[in-house]
Amino acid sequence: MEAQPAVRVQAPAVPEPREGQSVARLELKMAARDVNLWYGEKQALFGVSLDMFDSSVTALIGPSGCGKSTFLRCLDRMNDVIDGCRVEGDIRLDGEDIYAPRVDPVQLRARVGMVFQKPNPFPKSIFENVAYGPRIHGLCKTKAEYADVVEKSLTRAGLWDEVKDRLDESGTGLSGGQQQRLCIARAISVNPEVLLMDEPCSALDPIATAKIETLMDELKKNLCIVIVTHSMQQAARVSQRTAFFHLGKLVEVDETSKIFTNPTDQRTQDYVTGRFG
């Protein structure tokens, strides 16, 4: 059993300091300890421990079927809706166990938002798509408040200028990249503290991908972002820390620059240099 070496709460320095961003230590947002997960009889995650920090992007990479998406879905308890799925271990958000009996997954998911691989806007208007979260959580009272939240969220998602004149049109009529940004706007409309992104760009063309990556850079200023990606370039571009998963185990986690230039584990080395996966 591998110990949890690099993971211990030593926050790494940010690789390249940017303007407006403190070089100081990042705050720990979510911490997973020794997470095991079973689908029925089949174990999919083996003792995964990972820290995710505020105001930074953590990338999960690894070959298909390695459990990175499964792990991501543990973080907002989306695995709860799957029959026969069982999770063991300890996952904390701001030090609070999210699998504790007193935690309602419904409330948790308002704090931990999620963006999926395939853009999945509801077959409603653009406005209603973004207002969905505030409506079910009762965040706004007046129409003006809703309009305000919708505008702010769309602006943060970089979509406002493109759709401000057609908020009544169906969200499904947008292009793929726009749909994905609409889904991001929808996810951040309830002011989550953590944003989980499950291969958000794998269905998009390079231009739309570039837009989303720029957006992530912007969003991470006041969010903890965890992204699953198959593109190592993307992980290198957007993330500060990278975790490498293999066969349901967390092999290595470190600063992104270190993972890609000087990984400790041979398997990580092989994967990032394209020798397998």
Q: Which two tokens stand for residue 23?
A: 């070089």
CB 253 within 8 A of CB 242: yes
Q: Which is nearer to other proteins, 188 or 272 (CB)?
A: 188
Q: Which is nearer to other proteins, 130 or 272 (CB)?
A: 130
Which residues lie near other proteins (CB under 8 A)? 76, 78, 81, 106-110, 113-114, 116, 118, 120-124, 132-133, 135-137, 170, 172, 183, 186-187, 190
Q: Which is nearer to other proteins, 11 or 203 (CB)?
A: 203
Q: Which is nearer to other proteins, 46 or 116 (CB)?
A: 116
Q: Which is nearer to other proteins, 92 or 137 (CB)?
A: 137
Q: Which is nearer to other proteins, 31 or 196 (CB)?
A: 196
Residue whose entry in the numeric block shows the structure tokens 């049109």 = 169
Q: Detail the DSSP E strand segments found in the chain.
A: 28-39, 42-53, 56-61, 85-93, 96-97, 112-115, 194-198, 224-228, 241-246, 249-255
Q: Which is nearer to other proteins, 108 or 201 (CB)?
A: 108
Bridging pattern class, strands 224-228 and 56-61:
parallel
Give whole-number Cα distances, 175 to 2, 158, 194, 204, in Å.
Answer: 45, 14, 26, 10
In the complex, what is the shortest distance from the CB of residue 120 to other proteins, in angstroms, rounded to a whole number? 4
In the complex, what is the shortest distance from the CB of residue 251 to other proteins, in angstroms, rounded to a whole number? 27
**Residues in Cβ contact with 204 at an 8 Å cutoff, skipping those fewer than 6 apart:** 176, 177, 180, 212
In the complex, what is the shortest distance from the CB of residue 75 to other proteins, in angstroms, rounded to a whole number? 11
Residue whose entry in the numeric block shows the structure tokens 């948790």 = 108
**Measured distance CA(71)–CA(248) in Å, rounded:** 9
In the complex, what is the shortest distance from the CB of residue 243 to other proteins, in angstroms, rounded to a whole number? 21
Closest by CA to 46, choosing from 38, 56, 54, is: 38
Q: In what order do the strands lie in the sheet with 42-53?
A: 42-53, 28-39, 85-93, 96-97
Which DSSP letter does residue 11 get? P
In the complex, what is the shortest distance from the CB of residue 38 to other proteins, in angstroms, rounded to a whole number? 19
In the complex, what is the shortest distance from the CB of residue 119 to other proteins, in angstroms, rounded to a whole number? 9
In the complex, what is the shortest distance from the CB of residue 76 to other proteins, in angstroms, rounded to a whole number? 7
**Measured distance CA(235)–CA(94) in Å, rounded:** 25
